[in-house]
Structure 1
Amino acid sequence: MIELTSNQALSLWHGAIAESVRREGPDLSARQMAVLLTIYLGEPPHTVRGLAEALNVAKPAVTRAVDRLSELGLVRRKPDDQDRRSVLLQRTVKGSVFLTEFADIVAKYGRAA
């Protein structure tokens, strides 16, 4: 693990966020990014209920974030074959590319910190 001072951590985050909003891609809120990262970094399956529990936020807030991420093509909803009342959230190629590019930005600013 890399040790950063508070100022280095904030500088890293600022640099990564500032560069990401200058790019052509979507400008995600902190909640949307947290939901997206939870889906991509955690083991599937993912549901709104599970994401709400993992992030300790209300299900409607997660639903709104997932709605936007779905509109952007960063995640996909799929009916659960085992439980027709439930919807699974899946990764997409577009979402994977978005996060790979974002990770590259973070790594770039991490080297500078």
Structure 2
Amino acid sequence: MLMDQNPLSTTDSMLDWMDTLIAYVRSGDPDLTNRQMAIIFTVYTRRGPHTVRGLAEKLKVSKPVITRALNKLGQLGYLRRQRDEADGRNVFVVGTDKGASFLDRFERFIKSDAEKRDKGFPARGEAPSFANH
């Protein structure tokens, strides 16, 4: 069955998010999964302390799933594990300067592209400014 050119009724917010995602993929920044993005957003925007167990409960996934995502985010320098000085059995997940910088850029790209769209450009389907950074 062939699909129409625009089979779904989309809202402006969905189109804005699509433009941001396309621009992010084009940006050259690491291509993070939704799960990795959810973890990094949680650690940087929600009061901690954050643990593997707590993140797993929040996202409703297993601890090994969180561990794999943290391994990648750690390799990128966006998050790090820090042993609890009071109880060495506990390991916290904490942000880094590099991770904060990544999220700051991501937020600026979203705001910048939204402001440009509000002013009438770029037209849908054109590369937003995020793609040129």
TM-score range (shorter-chain normalised) is 0.7 to 0.9
Residue 96 of structure 1 aligns with an amino acid whose one-letter code is: A
Shift of 1:66: 0.7
Decide which structure has greater helix share.
1
Unaligned runs of 5+ in 2: 1-8, 119-133
Match for residue 69 of structure 2? Answer: 65
Partner Cα separation in structure 2 for residue 6 and residue 87 of structure 1: 42
Return the letter of the residue paired with 2:46. Answer: G
SS at match of 1:106: helix
Identical aligned residues as a percent: 39
Structure 1's unaligned 5+ residue stretches are none
Using the alignment, how far apart are the partners of 2:74 and 2:43 within structure 1?
12
User: Secondary structure at the residue paired with 2:88?
Assistant: coil
Residue 24 (structure 2) aligned to one of 20, 27, 34 = 20
Distance 1:82 1:107, change over 3 A: same
Deviation at 1:93? Answer: 0.6
Question: What is the 5 A alignment of 1:31-42?
Answer: 31-42=35-46
- TM, length-normalised to structure 2: 0.75
Partner Cα distance (1:34, 1:76) in 2: 16
Deviation at 1:67, TM superposition (A): 0.8
Aligned residues: CA RMSD: 1.6
Cα distance in 2, alignment partners of residues 53 and 102 from structure 1: 26
- 1:39-61, Cα deviation, whole Å (9 max, x unpaired): 00011211111111122222111
Paired amino acid for 2:53: R
Pick from 30, 53, 57: which aligns with 1:53?
A: 57
Give distance in 1, aligned partners of 2:18 and 2:112: 12
**How many aligned residue pairs are there?**
109
- Which aligned pairs between 1:67-106 and structure 2 lie closer than 5 A? 67-106=71-110
Amino acid across the alignment from 2:55: L
Q: What residue in structure 2 maps to residue 30 of structure 1? A: 34
CA distance in 2, matches of 1:16, 1:42: 23
TM-score, normalisation: structure 1 = 0.87
